[in-house]
Structure formats: structure tokens, C-alpha cells
Chain A
Amino acid sequence: MQIQTNIDDHRIAKLAAFAIALHMIEAVVPSPLPGVKPGIANIVTLYVLLQYDFATAAWVSILRVFASSLLLGQFMSPAFALSLSGALLSLSMLWAAQHLPRRYFSAITLSILAAFAHIAGQLIVVRLWLIPHASVAYLIPIFAVAALFFGFINGLITAKLLYNKTQLPESDQPAPPLP
């Protein structure tokens, strides 16, 4: 059987592989608090969204969630459900937020908004399925602080990567004025 692939498929596969690698690295790093993770794989999603388009970013993000859970042996487990719900909500947020004027809002805003949507998606699953008790509300502020912090850091890294990318072709010229 031969599946016809085009250049877009190859690009999605390459970027998804990169996101999966970041996800794997993060999986072995111990977390101070269960559920609080930097989410460095989202840097790839964000970078793809800004460099290519939303459809490519969605493909990369969803492929990353499925492939990573298979590699970690978490497919269809609660960890997978949390990962998927977070990714889906954060993609919906990015879909809406990509229309913000780029002149005023950089990758940092997109990253923070996506991080908030991510924890919202996870907390919905936790509340409805894993811990169906109102006391889950006590966790919201902690996760919100983590989302703001890591969302900001990831956004900063993405902005830096995109900035370096635009600087690359004219590296022999003097540095252009800052935006």
C-alpha cells in the first residue's frame, strides 16, 4: 500500500516529531507539583501557528498529543484525557486569538492565552471525571499562576525564535532598528 504524501505532510511530520521530542524531555523532568508543567512542546505549536497557519499548528498539536501518549504508554488513560482536553481548548483559544493585531500582540500574548485555555481544559476534565468535587476550585489559582508564568516564558522563547528567523537572511547587515 502506498500513501501519497505531499510537502505539507512532510512538514507537519517533521514539526510534530520535534514537538514529541520536547514532550518526551519534559516527561522525565520531575515536577514540583502534580499537573504543573512548563509545556515546552507548546512552543512548537505557537511557532508553527505564527510561521505557517492554524491548520498546520492544529495538526502538529494533536499528533503530538496522540504520539506522545502512545510512547509513554498513557493512551486512553486519564493523563491522555488531560493532555487532549488541554490541547483542544488551547487550540480553540489560539484560533480566536490569531486574529489579534500583530502590531500590538506578539507570541507572548498568544502563549499566555493558550496556557490559560490549557489549564481550563484540564480542570474541566478533572472536575467532571477525575475528582467530581467542588473543592477542585481551590486548585484554580495555583494553576492560573503556573499558566501565566510558563505561558510567558514559552511565549518569550517563541518570540525570540521568530525574531531570529526574520533576522537570518540579512545577518551580514547591521542590526535593524528594534520594533
Chain B
Amino acid sequence: MLSSSHSHKPAFRHLLAGDWLTIILSTIIIAYLFQTLWSHEHAAKVQIRIGNKIHAAYDLNQQRDIIVPGPIGDAMIHIRQGKVRFAKSPCHNQYCVHQGWLTHSGQVAICLPNQISLELIGAQKPYDSLNY
């Protein structure tokens, strides 16, 4: 049936039943990969790093202002019920402040002059099980 319905299209006459199976299964696997690896779930925690050291991790489900001491001064970080941002920073460019609120897991805000970075983490990292 497959070959007869496609006999009019020369490009597809080489496709056998198993090839269709491969293509359909591959598409399903790719859709699953997109869903699991690109999931934009709301973050549960924020991890604050100074340089390459983890300074602290906070639950996002609270209202709290944190002062983080960086190499060039203190940065103020606001946590407001599921979102987080740099509120004040001693750096020159203020890129980190202008980046605004972060809400989804995987999002990152980095203040290079002050070596402070925020990384949002979901309930669990979706790619924890992939261990290359």
C-alpha cells in the first residue's frame, strides 16, 4: 500500500515500511528530547556563585533581599516569590542589573566585574540523568 501510494513521487519510492518506522520513531524521540531538555519549568532555587565557588543557594519561594560580598563590593540581590534579580551592584556597566528578573530554570545572570553569578535551578536538573 505504501509503495503504490507513493509511486507517483519518484523521490519517495525508495522508502520502505521500515524506513517510515525509523522516521516516525526518530521524530518521537526528538520531540521527547525537546520536551525534557528544553523544559521551561519555573525555577525552585537560585544558586549564587562568587568566582567559581558556590556562595549560597536560596529557595525562590520567599521574599528576601540578600547582600553578597564580591571582590569589588557588595551586590544586592532581590528574591520575590519565584523570581530573582540583581537590584544593586557596584560594577561599572550595570549589565547584571539591567538583565532584570530571572524566572525559569537554567537562566543565568553574571556580573563579570564583581565575579558574582546567579543560576536558577529547577526542582531537579532535567539533564541529571544524562551522564556522558
| A contact residues vs B (CB 8 Å cutoff) | 100-101, 103-109, 112-113, 116, 123-124, 127-128, 134-138, 140-141, 144-145, 148, 152, 155-156, 159-160, 163, 178-179
Decide if the interface of chain A is mainly helix, strand, loop or mixed. helix
Assess whether B37 is in contact with A113, with CB atoms less than 8 Å apart: no
With both beta carbons as reference points, the residue of chain B lying nearest to A148 in the complex is identified as: B26
* Closest Cβ–Cβ distance, residue A137 to chain B (whole Å): 4
A125–chain B nearest beta-carbon distance, Å:
9
Find out whether the CB atom of A152 lies under 8 angstroms from the CB atom of B33.
no
In the complex, the answer to whether A141 meets B38 with C-beta atoms within 8 Å is yes
* A105 / chain B contacts, CB cutoff of 8 Å: 16, 18-19, 22
B91-122 at interface with A (beta carbon < 8 Å): 106
- B55 in the interface (beta carbon within 8 A): no
Give complex CA distance A15, B29 in Å. Answer: 34
Contact status A156-B22, CB under 8 Å: no
Q: Is B130 an interface residue (CB 8 A)?
A: yes
Contact A179 B3 (CB under 8 A): yes
Contact with A along B1-45 (1 / 0, CB 8 A): 001000100010111111101110011011001100110000000
B80 within 8 A of A: no
B37 touches A137 (CB 8 A): yes
CB A122 to nearest CB in B, in angstroms, measures 11
Residues of chain A with a CB closer than 8 A to B132's CB: 123-124, 127-128, 136
**In the complex, are the beta carbons of B38 and A163 less than 8 A apart?**
no
**Nearest A residue (CB) for B15:** A108
Can you name 19 A-B residue pairings with CB atoms under 8 Å? A100-B18, A101-B18, A105-B18, A105-B19, A105-B22, A108-B19, A109-B18, A109-B22, A112-B26, A113-B22, A124-B132, A127-B132, A134-B127, A137-B126, A138-B37, A148-B23, A148-B27, A156-B11, A163-B14
